[in-house]
Amino acid sequence: MSQPMNTHRYDAAAVTTAYASALEVIAAVEPDVAGAIRQELTDQRESLKLIASENYASPAVLLTMGNWFSDKYAEGTIGHRFYAGCQNVDTVEQLAADHARALFGASHAYAQPHSGIDANLVAFWAILAQRVEAPGLAAAGARHVNDLSEADWEKLRHELGNQRALGMSLDAGGHLTHGFRPNISGKMFHQSSYGTDPETGLLDYDHVRAQAREFKPLVLIAGYSAYPRRINFATMREIADEVGATLMVDMAHFAGLVAGKVFTGDFDPVPHAHVTTTTTHKSLRGPRGGLVLCQPEYADAVDRGCPMVLGGPLSHVMAAKAVALAEARQPAFATYAAAVADNAVTLADGLLRRGTKLVTGGTDNHLVLLDVSSFGLTGRQAESALLDAGIVTNRNAVPRDPNGAWYTSGVRIGTPALTSRGFGPAEFDRVAELIVDVLSATTPSATASGGLSQAKYELADGVAAKTQAAAAELLEKFPLYPGLDLS
């Protein structure tokens, strides 16, 4: 029997048997872990998950990760491993790469990165290898760094450490790995960042172009974690070409919208970027992991991700990537992706109609960024009050945020997870109503010195319980993994 959960289709009895048996085996060794796994399912079933970077993978994807591929070392590339006996790893890595190339129309795919951060590290080092190291070796008449004289190696090391990257600023929605100090990317590159227009909150391409002309980066990075709009990658490529930069796009957040053909033409990064990176677990709805797609001239360098910055690949996760990418190639995934974007518009409209302020005034991707300063709250207070009421979001800086990156003035709200459960426009409008009800009933607490706390707050009596009940009513209609019964 097939159970509907939007685009997930599975045999509920088989999935129940699989998990019940697995939990029995686990409980025989460490019952507390089995208990935590059961509890996690219950908690996820009972929460209104609006974290823009989270989703629910299919049972097939989840089950593919729990097997003996986990035990196998397979450093190297398909067919060229540093370990014996990798024929089955070759099979699944090849499948993951083939599905990725077909799904995204990419000429090359590398499925080994363990996460989005790792995919970005692979991309940075591949760009440095292709753009700086290879010409440096050629100039010194060497084929490998080990063949360089100490003086030539010193010169090359200096050049490798003196490159520039230009990416979107954190408060405009960029990611830590796009050149920010707490991340290695901000230490390996001289970094500069572009923001958004102070009036509209939108990316100003002329401004990016002017900055690129002046800064002359080796890498121009596009992509985001919290920008609620599409990016014109054809224009970004034009800018990169004009200044001789490599265009790297991190589509970690919106890969599902690219896969589902919501973002096409100028808004599809893959044909325009030299190197595209992604996670596989956000809107793409696969296992936790990363992926690098690139144009042919970067392929050799990208394939050296291991041993450059990666150790042995997680073969069980590469197998699950292959399954998830196969799912994303089905027509049902395009329907899902379109619903993710439509639901975000409904959510944005529902919030705006109820008098709230959204960064950029709306959305055309899978997320909205709600500026909670009009409620007199910090993002931290809003996030906590919503959580008390059973609504899971995360606080996020808004452009030029006066409260900084810790307390923030925003809450990021995404539609991928609840769309996977089957939520549609009516449910997302109700979600908007619940969010506004909770925030309207929340006030910052007073500090001992008579000011307003940035962390503490009071939520009016009864609002949390009332909202939790309303959320439960919504969630009951769209069960998570319907038919999976572990009682």
The 8-class DSSP code of residue 203 comes to: B
Active-site annotation holder among 237, 282, 395, 421: 282
Residue 175 sits in the site that holds ligand PLP (CB under 6 A): yes
Degrees to nearest 5, angle at CA 303 with 151 and 264: 120
What is the distance between the alpha carbons of residues 121 and 306, in angstroms, rounded to a whole number? Answer: 11
**Contact with ligand PLP (CB under 6 A) among 7, 211, 279, 409:** 279
Could you tell me the CA-to-CA distances from 277 to 119, 148, 252, 343 in Å, in that order?
Answer: 6, 31, 7, 25
Residue 429 CB, shortest distance to ligand PLP, in Å, is: 27
Per rule CB under 6 A, is residue 292 in the interface with ligand PLP? no
Draw the binding track, 75-114, toward ligand PLP (x: CB under 6 A; -: no contact): ----------------------------------------
If binding is defined by CB under 6 A, does position 53 make contact with ligand PLP?
yes
288 is catalytic: yes
Our finding on whether 409 is near ligand PLP (CB under 6 A) is: no
Write down the least CB distance from residue 340 to ligand PLP, Å: 16
Which residue in 73, 197, 354, 443 is the catalytic one?
Answer: 73
* Residue 223 binding ligand PLP, by CB under 6 A: yes
Question: Beta partners for 165?
Answer: 191, 219
Q: How many residues at the interface with ligand PLP, by CB under 6 A? A: 13
Binding map of ligand PLP across residues 116-135, x = CB under 6 A, - = no contact: xx--x---------------
Q: How near is the Cβ of 51 to ligand PLP at its closest, in Å? A: 10
Closest contact distance (angstroms) between CB of 116 and ligand PLP is 2
Q: Is 177 in the site for ligand PLP (CB under 6 A)?
A: yes
Sequence-ordered alpha helix ranges (H) in 331-481: 331-353, 379-388, 404-407, 416-421, 425-440, 463-477
Q: Which two tokens stand for residue 383?
A: 């996030």
CB closer to ligand PLP out of 279 and 409 = 279
> Is the CB of 115 or the CB of 453 nearer to ligand PLP?
115
Give CA–CA dist 270/180, Å, rounded.
24
- Please return the burial class of 213, using the count of CB atoms within 10 Å of its CB with bins 0-12, 13-18 and 19+: exposed
Smallest distance from ligand PLP to CB 224, Å: 6
Nearer to ligand PLP, 286 or 390 (CB): 286
Q: Provide φ and ψ at 168, rounded to 5°.
A: -75, 140
What the block records as the tokens of 205 is 């391409």
Residue type, 385: A
Between CA 172 and CA 231 the distance in angstroms is 13
Q: How far apart are CA 363 and CA 345, in angstroms?
A: 6
Catalytic one among 11, 46, 54, 75?
A: 75
Tell me which stretch binds ligand PLP (CB under 6 A): 20-28, 183-191, 250-258, 479-487.
250-258
Q: Quick check: is 297 catalytic?
A: no
| Residue 135 Cα distances to 141, 145, 156, 167, 354, angstroms | 10, 12, 10, 25, 58
Active-site residue numbers? 73, 75, 250, 279, 282, 288
For ligand PLP, the binding residues (CB under 6 A) are 53, 115-117, 120, 175, 177, 223, 225, 250, 252-253, 279
